[in-house]
Amino acid sequence: MLPDLSHPAAALAKPVTSARRGLGRQDWRRITQTGFFLLFLLAPALNLLRFDLTEAQLWFLGLRWSLGIDALARGEIDATTAALHILWRAFLPAIGLVVIFITIAYRHGRLYCGWLCPHFSMVEMLNGLLQRACGKLSLWDSSPTPRAGQLPNTRWWPLFGLSCGLVGFAWAITLLTYLLPPAVIWGNLVHGSLTPNQLRFLGVATLLVSLELAFARHLFCRFGCAVGYFQSLAWMANPKGMVVAFERERAKECKTCDAPRGSACDNACPMRLNPRNIKRMMFSCVQCGQCLDACETSQGDQQRSPTLEWRIGTDALRETLRQRAQIRQEAP
């Protein structure tokens, strides 16, 4: 049975997968991530979105998108008509997209990052490979992150390094096809006839992206991504925005969670956050819901209900105020 996609919170709140309940939260997230990643790769080839530098032409949804400046240069329209074309074809669509994007972020946080962003889907994939290689989700983690049934094995290091390089190259050539005709770029690549400038772009971009994925995946998402940063700002400005609520009165149960280490939610978070923290300490949360699934699984194994859940609207505001009050009471 499919979730009610007419209400975003309903789809997001769908619990972990089970045979009886069908697709779970992470299954739906993998579907949306895969679909958007394929769209990112294929958009230039399908002329869904790209700017062709050879023609100085923007392509959008398979159509040539013109601002009417050429018509003004040919004397076919006057300056006033050209200004109206620019307003209707450039400024208003851009403003509309930004407003829709920020409105979603205002209510649901960094939903784009956790459910669509092609970069973040690669971050999670590489997290898994690195964890298999050294037991950590990041080279900068101070301690290993345990996974049930998995022990670190150095044989995974070559695959991790190769994956960083392949993803970096895929990213570089895809970005180049957003600027130059995809048929030309792929044809030159297949026939070994890339121009010096194309080779330089691919070499530099592949190196930079590969190094970023290998060493700074989470750091980029948390501190270097402007798209994520502005989503977080919008979300923090809304006291009723969706938050992960934690039943602090049951905090002692976390000690036996995900035994023997505890804190299954901390171990599951791909952004290396503490999901039980208050909202202002969760600035870069991507609303992936992995902490909720980990909590549900770990607590369920001990015949207990989860201590984490998503709340939105008035419930989110009430939860934030309650957590602040409890923290003040606990402070010495």
Q: Which residues of the chain are under the pLDDT cut of 70?
A: 1-21, 68-77, 258-262, 323-324, 326-332
The strand pair at 63-65 and 49-52 is best described as unpaired
Report whether 9 contacts 313 (CB < 8 A).
Answer: no
Report whether 223 contacts 177 (CB < 8 A).
Answer: no
Distance CA 115, CA 242 (A): 15
Full DSSP string of 40-77: HHHTTTTTSEEEETTTTEEEETTEEE--SHHHHHTTSS
Report whether 115 contacts 287 (CB < 8 A).
Answer: yes
Which residues are CB-contacts of 316 (< 8 A; sequence separation ≥ 6)?
239, 240, 241, 242, 243, 245
Report whether 273 contacts 290 (CB < 8 A).
Answer: no
pLDDT at residue number 177: 94
Distance CA 48, CA 282 (A): 35
Distance CA 79, CA 62 (A): 28
pLDDT at residue number 268: 86
pLDDT at residue number 242: 92
Which residues are CB-contacts of 230 (< 8 A; sequence separation ≥ 6)?
102, 105
The whole model's pTM is what?
0.82
Query: Phi, psi at residue 177, to the nearest 5°?
Result: -75, -15
CA distances from 185 to 44, 54, 200, 260, 268 (A): 11, 12, 13, 53, 40
pLDDT at residue number 6: 39
